Amino acid sequence: MFEFFASIFGYVLSFLYNIVNNYGMAIILFTIIIKVILIPLSIKQQKTMKKSAKLQEKMKIIQFKYKNDPEKMNQEIMSLYKNEKMSPFSGCLTAIIQFLLLLSIFYLVRNPLTYMEKIPTEEINQYVTQLQEEGKEVSKAYPEIDLIREYEFLKEKNPEGANVEKLNLQMKFLGLDLSKIPQQNMADYTVYIIPILYIISSFISIRMTTAMQQRQNQKKKEVIIDEETGKEIEKAEENEMDAVMQTNKMMSWMMPIMSISIAFVAPLGLALYWLISNILMIIERVVLDKMIKQEDGEE
């Protein structure tokens, strides 16, 4: 499945690369396109977060009324979600899409000649064999990256090669070589620039998300009244989050941690994609939060 999406993304990235003739710029434009496509999902996610916060009081009443009857309590909570046209697993869709994008883009930047340049596997293997026969080291994890680095040598060995020119991808971007892998170039300080910027942007994004969730779930110490009986239930605690919010919070930490781990063992082109994606996400959240506040008539 990931190969399928990597192949589709490869067509888009190849089209953009042919326009700008720079791998880094092509990735930035590709990231913007992906983010624009996902805007409807982001809007839905933001609205779901706000709606979940408004369900807290009703859920508190249900939990109090049926605290001795877990089965009835679960039924009432599910009915509440149904009546409000919400799903307790609404946050999972975003996580699934993020995971799908994460691995699909990883496949794409790991094998740009296969998915982006559409060079047949047999020809790629032929080039790898030529390098090995000449005593040149070829990475088992990223052989196509090594082929791109050895373009001049392979062009000399295959002057009539139909696809040899496709190995000449412009991987330099703002003085950084996007084909480099941090784990394999630890003595080169430049390989840490993009991953560190990605870590900083991830921290900012997580803090923003947590702050928004806390603000939406913030409650003044007030008495909750059961509308049916008119009785006081209990005082709501400040910054109370339901199980869905806790799950979303956990996911917001898991994805960056997973991404950071992969970024250090993958070509820098992947970290650049994640960095630009994070920057766009921060801008998007600020704008959408203001838009949704205006819709709800909030100050």
Beta pairing, strands 176-177 & 172-173: antiparallel
CB-based contact 285:209 (threshold 8 Å): yes
Cα distance between residue 61 and residue 298, in whole Å = 25
Check: CB of residue 244 under 8 Å from CB of residue 88: yes
**199 token code pair:** 């870590």
Q: Half-sphere exposure (CA, 13 Å, Cβ side) for 122?
A: 2
- Per-residue pLDDT tens over the stretch 146-157: 899 888 888 888
Q: Which pLDDT band holds residue 87 (cuts at 50, 70, 90)?
A: low
137: left (phi > 0), else alpha (psi -120 to 50), else beta?
A: beta
Give pLDDT, residue 15: 95
Where residue 238 falls (left for φ over 0; alpha for ψ -120 to 50; beta otherwise) is beta
pLDDT at 257: 72
CA distances from 188 to 96, 177, 262 (A): 35, 11, 18
Say how far apart CA 19 and CA 58 lie, in whole Å: 54
Q: Tens digits of per-residue pLDDT, 46-83?
A: 777 666 666 766 777 777 777 777 787 788 778 877 77
* Structural tokens at position 4: 């399928």
Instruction: Assess whether pLDDT exceeds 70 at residue 240.
Output: no
Measured distance CA(21)–CA(126) in Å, rounded: 26
Check if the beta carbon of residue 178 is closer than 8 Å to that of residue 24. Answer: yes
Of 4-8, 136-140, 260-264, the range with the lowest mean pLDDT is 260-264
CA distance 240 to 217: 6
CA-CA distance, 243 to 111, in Å (whole number)? 39
CB 283 within 8 A of CB 125: no
Confidence of residue 236 (pLDDT cuts 50, 70, 90): very low
Rg (C-alpha) for the chain, rounded Å, is 25
Decide if 274 contacts 195 (C-beta within 8 A).
Answer: no
| End-to-end C-alpha distance for the chain, whole angstroms | 45
> Could you tell me which residues come within 8 angstroms of residue 197 by beta carbon, excluding any fewer than 6 positions away?
275
Q: Which of 271, 283, 294 is nearest to 208 (CA)?
A: 283
Phi, psi angle pair for 171, to nearest 5°: -90, -5
* Max Cα distance, the chain (Å): 86
Average of per-residue pLDDT values in the chain: 78
The beta strands (E) that lie in the chain are given as 172-173, 176-177, 223-225, 232-235
Tell whether the model's pLDDT for residue 251 goes beyond 60: no
DSSP bridge pairs for 235: 223
Q: How far apart are CA 119 and CA 123, in angstroms?
A: 7
Stretch 205-213: mean pLDDT, rounded?
72
- Phi, psi of 176, deg, nearest 5: -105, 145
